[in-house]
Amino acid sequence: MHVLLLSTYDLGHQPFSLASPAAKLRSAGAGVTCNDLAIDALDEEAVKKAGLIGLYLPMHTATRLSVALLPRLKNLNSKAHIVFYGLYAPLNADYLKSIGGDSFIGGEFEDGLIDIYHKLVTGEKPSAIPLISTAKQEFIRPWREDLPSLDRYAHLYVGDGSTKIVGYTEASRGCKHTCCHCPIVPVYQGRFRILPVDIVLADIRQQIANGAEHISFGDPDFFNGPRHAISVVENLHEEFPDITYDVTIKIEHLLKHQELLPKLKASGCLFITTAVESTEEEILRLLDKGHSQADFKRATEITRAAGLTLAPTFVPFTPWTTKEGFLQLLETIAGLDLIENVAPIQLAIRLLIPNQSALLDLTEIQPHLDGYDEEALSYRWRNSDETVEELCAGVQEIVEASAENNHSRRETFAAIYAAALTACDRPSNDLPSLKSAPGVAIPSMSEPWFCCAEPTAEQLARL
């Protein structure tokens, strides 16, 4: 039986989560095609001959795109068994079933896909009950031969004018924390699973052989298992001393394991993405982030002292955001000299509340909810201060226009800051850091990291 694995969008990376199950399905005897629609057109022949089609749903945007793609798949092949897999599959299983999905797997999905494949081969009907598995699995080296070459994906701007080809892998999945806005939480419930060091290195090795000069680790938090993480990067550095990498680490872990930061620097780490979300203490408490504004400042200092670049991400617009709070966020970023470190889109993000989000358990969210929007696959909410909603819309317009006009991060930040001052009835104020040129070169990806966007017309047209 032929299996087609489809990814619609994976944040500019070559999708590990097609390559990993593809390897296991092939070793179980399946013929497999991997088709990344973020880069290539739909392989209609592969759709027509598939007995099993897997759609990978790692996040909101990919889910929306996969939903839009489904009718075309059904037209081409109405008999194939459709399995949605990835974090968003079990969370949206009822809706995905109503539009024609057959099976739904979240968490550790490779073995679940193999099980469905075996059932179909032997004429058994796979279960339609959503499966969430955090069971330990055996991994084998991902099979990447069928995916577009790495130079067709997002690349790294090193910061000195040069670029690097980026490979992507995962040394762990899930997370031992339970921040209530995070889509990992309803699936992994505070658990994480590591991939063996030799498999991670074998995957990196094959990507370096295919041109990767920098590796992006997609672990939700690289320091969930700090000893494992350090073992991976020290082995990587020993074998490939010129390869650089980036990781994601939460503020709490940066502080708790700060003695490991020099080891990251020494082994080629270029930058660390960290989810700050807010500088309003009450919002950080509601999201259960495990850090304070002071912790953010301290984490900035210690990563800088270790010679590492911090790339903070935010969810600035929530039901509880205040105009003064947003202004304080901007002034904190400027005060910490982080303007160049923040992708402008991070200043425009609105909290996404997907189905089964732990946010729904908060009494504080109830007055803000306005029903579930099935098409948008998320709950509608409003801030009770309409002027915050207006500020959010204004910031989103600034970020969009800046992207169209190729404005710098500093120019975009200045425009957002001016809008926030106006919203707060404050006189214009030229922050000293708005004028100064960046002191150090900041590495960043050519595709900014965010996963809760509406699909773009360009993405939809590719389906």
Interface residue list for ligand SF4 (CB under 6 A): 175, 177-179, 182, 184-185, 220-221, 250, 275
Under DSSP, the state recorded for 46 is H
Taking the least distance from each CB to ligand SF4, the nearer of 232 and 249 is: 249
310: which strand partners?
Answer: 272
Q: What minimum distance in Å lies between the beta carbon of 216 and ligand SF4?
A: 16
Taking the least distance from each CB to ligand SF4, the nearer of 175 and 365 is: 175
Q: What minimum distance in Å lies between the beta carbon of 358 and ligand SF4?
A: 9
Taking the least distance from each CB to ligand SF4, the nearer of 83 and 351 is: 351
Q: What minimum distance in Å lies between the beta carbon of 177 and ligand SF4?
A: 4
Q: What minimum distance in Å lies between the beta carbon of 221 and ligand SF4?
A: 5
Specify whether the CB–CB gap between 45 and 15 falls below 8 A: no
Taking the least distance from each CB to ligand SF4, the nearer of 131 and 275 is: 275
What long-range pairs does 42-49 form, CB within 8 A, spacing at least 24?
42/6, 42/69, 42/72, 42/463, 43/4, 44/76, 46/2, 46/4, 47/4, 47/73, 47/76, 47/77, 47/80, 48/76, 48/77, 49/2
Q: What minimum distance in Å lies between the beta carbon of 352 and ligand SF4?
A: 12
DSSP assignments along 126-186, one per residue: PP-S-EEE-----------TTSPPGGGS--EE-SSS-EE-EEEE-SEEE-S---TT-TTHH
**Cα–Cα dist 70/126, whole Å:** 19
Taking the least distance from each CB to ligand SF4, the nearer of 184 and 419 is: 184
DSSP assignments along 82-103, one per residue: EEEESTHHHHTHHHHHHTT--E
Q: Residue 267: which of 306, 222, 236, 303 has the closest Cα?
A: 236
Q: What minimum distance in Å lies between the beta carbon of 204 and ligand SF4?
A: 22
3-state secondary structure of 244: strand
Taking the least distance from each CB to ligand SF4, the nearer of 296 and 413 is: 296
Q: What minimum distance in Å lies between the beta carbon of 112 and ligand SF4?
A: 22
Q: Residue 304: which of 333, 337, 257 has the closest Cα?
A: 337
Residues contacting residue 98 through CB under 8 Å, at least 6 positions apart = none
Taking the least distance from each CB to ligand SF4, the nearer of 177 and 323 is: 177
- Whether the CA torsion 106, 110, 114, 115 is positive or negative: it is negative
Taking the least distance from each CB to ligand SF4, the nearer of 255 and 463 is: 255
Q: What minimum distance in Å lies between the beta carbon of 219 and ligand SF4?
A: 9
